[in-house]
Amino acid sequence: MSITVLLGAQWGDEGKGRITDALAADADVVARFNGGDNAGHSITIGTQVVKLHLIPSGIFRPEILNVVGNGVVFNPRNFLKEMAEVVAVGVTISPDNLKISEGAHVILPGHVALDVARESTSKGIGTTKRGIGFAYMDKAKREGIRAGMMHDPERFGDAVHAHTEDVNATLKRVGQPVLDADALAAEYVQAAEQLKPFLANTFAVMHRALAQNKRVLAEGAQAVLLDIDHGTYPYVTSSNATIGGVMTGLGVPPQAITRVVGVAKAFSTRVGAGPFVTELFEDMALRLRGTGANPWDEYGSTTGRPRRVGWLDSVALRYAVQLNGITELALTKLDILSGLPELKIATAYEVNAEQSNNFPQDSEVLARCQPVYETLPGWAEDVSGVRSYADLPKQAQAYVERIEALTGARVSLVSVGPEREQLIAR
Ligand code: IMP
Catalytic, 53? Answer no
Residue 107 beta carbon below 6 angstroms from any ligand 1 atom: no
pLDDT score for 138: 98
Q: Ligand 1 mean position to 269 CA, how many Å?
A: 12
Identify which of 38, 123, 130 to mutate to test ligand 1's pocket (most ligand atoms within 8 A of the CB).
38
pLDDT tens track for 224-261 = 999 999 999 999 999 999 999 999 999 999 999 999 99
Q: Is the CB of 347 under 6 A from ligand 1?
A: no
Between the CA of 128 and the centroid of ligand 1 the distance, in Å, is: 6
Report which ligand 1 atom has the smallest distance to the Cα of 133.
4
Say if residue 6 is exposed, middle or buried (CB neighbours under 10 Å; 0-12, 13-18, 19+). buried
Handedness of CA 89, 91, 95, 100 (dihedral sign): negative
- In the prediction, which pLDDT does 43 show? 74
Query: How far is CA 413 from each of CA 123, 155, 190, rounded to the nearest angstrom?
Result: 39, 48, 44
Positive or negative, the CA dihedral 47, 18, 103, 208 is positive
Q: At what angle do helices 314-324 and 394-407 cross, to 10 degrees?
A: 50
Query: Which of 1, 4, 2 shows the shortest CA–CA distance to 326?
Result: 4
Decide if 328 contacts 261 (C-beta within 8 A): yes
Q: Which of 73, 129, 226, 307 to mutate to test the pocket of ligand 1 (most atoms within 8 A of CB)?
A: 226
The tens digit of pLDDT for each residue in 159-218 reads 999 999 999 999 999 999 999 999 999 999 999 999 999 999 999 999 999 999 999 999
Q: Spell out the residues 6+ positions from residue 147 whose beta carbon is closer than 8 angstroms to its own.
A: 74, 76, 100, 101, 102, 103, 104, 105, 106, 195, 199
In this prediction, residue 17 carries a pLDDT of 86
pLDDT surpassing 90 at residue 286 = yes
| Distance between CA atoms of residues 52 and 426, nearest Å | 28
28, 37, 41, 161: the active-site residue:
41
- Residue 301: is its pLDDT beyond 90? no
Residue 293 scores a pLDDT above 90: no
- Residue 174 Cα, ligand 1 centroid: separation in angstroms? 24
CB 75 within 8 A of CB 106: yes
16 CB near ligand 1 (under 6 Å): no
Confidence (pLDDT) at 296: 85
- Tell me the whole-structure pTM to 2 decimals: 0.96
- Amino acid identity for residue 355 in this structure: Q
User: Distance (Å, rounded) from C-alpha 37 to C-alpha 40?
Assistant: 7
pLDDT for res 12 = 93
Is 166 designated active site?
no
